Amino acid sequence: MRNLWYFCVIDLKMHPCVIIQFEEYTEVSLLNFDIIDTMFLVIHNPLSNNKKSKKNTQKYVKFFQKNKIDFIIRSSLKIENLEIFLSQNPSITDILYLGGDGTLNYLVNSVNMDKITQNLYFGQSGSGNDFMRSLKPIHQGLITLGSAKTNVKTVSFINGCGLGIDGNVGFFVNQDKKKNKMSYFVNTFRALNVYKPTPMKITIDGNTHEFAKTWFVSVQNGKYFGGGMKVAPHADPTQESFSVTVAHTLKKWQVFFVFMSIYVGLHVKLKKYVTIFTGKNISVQSPDPKYFQADGEVLEAVSSMSISPSKRHQIHSFEKNKIKQAFSNTK
């Protein structure tokens, strides 16, 4: 028989109790919601960070409990339709979404973001957390969500997408059973062994550019990809334009050094091999099918992609000190 952990997360003097089966985060009992002024819905992904996110989620639970902030918690795997869930629980005023880039990608692809009227916060709980690296310094903003229409399917993204060797790296990373912060770095070597650069035609806001030997085309909303590689130093997720980075005319042995330079953003100085554009509507065509990635989620056999902004949504970085201060004033 398994041991179950239970927490009472509402001040009993003020409100009835909310009980959570913490081990699986699935059983929630709520009493008399109508007297609660503010209620957080905490959504976590138990599979994020290679299934190591439980410890991080515990820290958020303890924060809410310690500061007597009302909340319920659910696994993203247990909410079949977030819009319906929110409509059935009108007392939810704020949402904290925990996970890495893949979890955020699932959100923007599974939910009509226009239907989310609650305050939306992101908290990091993944292995890469690249979008959070761009969101945390600005704290909050009206964030642009992108749409990528490929010859395989159309997907949404929040951090960025790309065609080329970064897709190969993403494929190997997702196959890695011991995924960690070094996974992108390690799997770059595997990708170098199999990737063959090809000509690509890139059209940005009506202007066409052709590159004979293209290693990757990265279209970024956020500044980072690959677990902290600063591929787009000037990207701004609150703008409706994207930063486009093209790595080209490199010999295989040079690619690794370019990747190393990306970690600190020095690749922008390698103008012979790296070309950077800014644009709103981007299309890319390749004569050969490649791996494509959107927020690290990979599609195979992609030979064309068309990128454009799809919508915008107000998103906050979850900052404990600010939340504590804000909600202590409401008690």
Say whether pLDDT at 145 is over 60.
Answer: yes
Q: Are residues 137 and 172 in the same domain?
A: no
Has residue 49 been placed in a domain? yes
> Quick one: average pLDDT of 119-132?
89
> Quick one: average pLDDT of 232-241?
97
State the pLDDT confidence band at 227, using cuts at 50, 70 and 90. confident
Q: Which residue has the higher pLDDT, 181 or 117?
A: 117
Q: What is the pLDDT of residue 139?
A: 97
φ/ψ of residue 327, rounded to 5: -85, -20
Per-residue pLDDT of 248-264, as tens digits, reads: 999 999 998 998 899 88
Which of 50-54, 168-172, 227-231, 287-291 bottoms out in mean pLDDT, i.e. has the lowest?
Answer: 50-54
Query: The CATH number of the domain where 223 resides is what?
Result: 2.60.200.40
Q: What is the pLDDT of residue 330?
A: 58
Expressed as residue numbers, the domain containing 23 is 6-143+314-328
Q: What is the pLDDT of residue 1?
A: 37
Q: Are residues 91 and 166 in the same domain?
A: no
Query: The CATH number of the domain where 19 resides is what?
Result: 3.40.50.10330
> Quick one: average pLDDT of 138-150?
98
Contact 218, 276 (CB under 8 A): no
Collapsed DSSP state (helix, strand, coil) of residue 251: coil
> Quick one: average pLDDT of 33-38?
56
Angle at 31 between CA 97 and CA 25, to 5 degrees: 35
Contact 64, 258 (CB under 8 A): no
Q: Are residues 106 and 215 in the same domain?
A: no
Per-residue pLDDT of 5-23, as tens digits, reads: 333 343 333 343 343 434 4
Residue 272 to residues 108, 201, 208, Cα–Cα distance (Å): 36, 18, 18
pLDDT > 70 fraction of the chain, expressed in percent and rounded: 86
Write down the mean pLDDT value for the chain: 87
User: Considering its fold, how many domains does the chain have in total?
Assistant: 2
Q: What is the pLDDT of residue 10?
A: 38
Say whether pLDDT at 92 is over 80.
Answer: yes
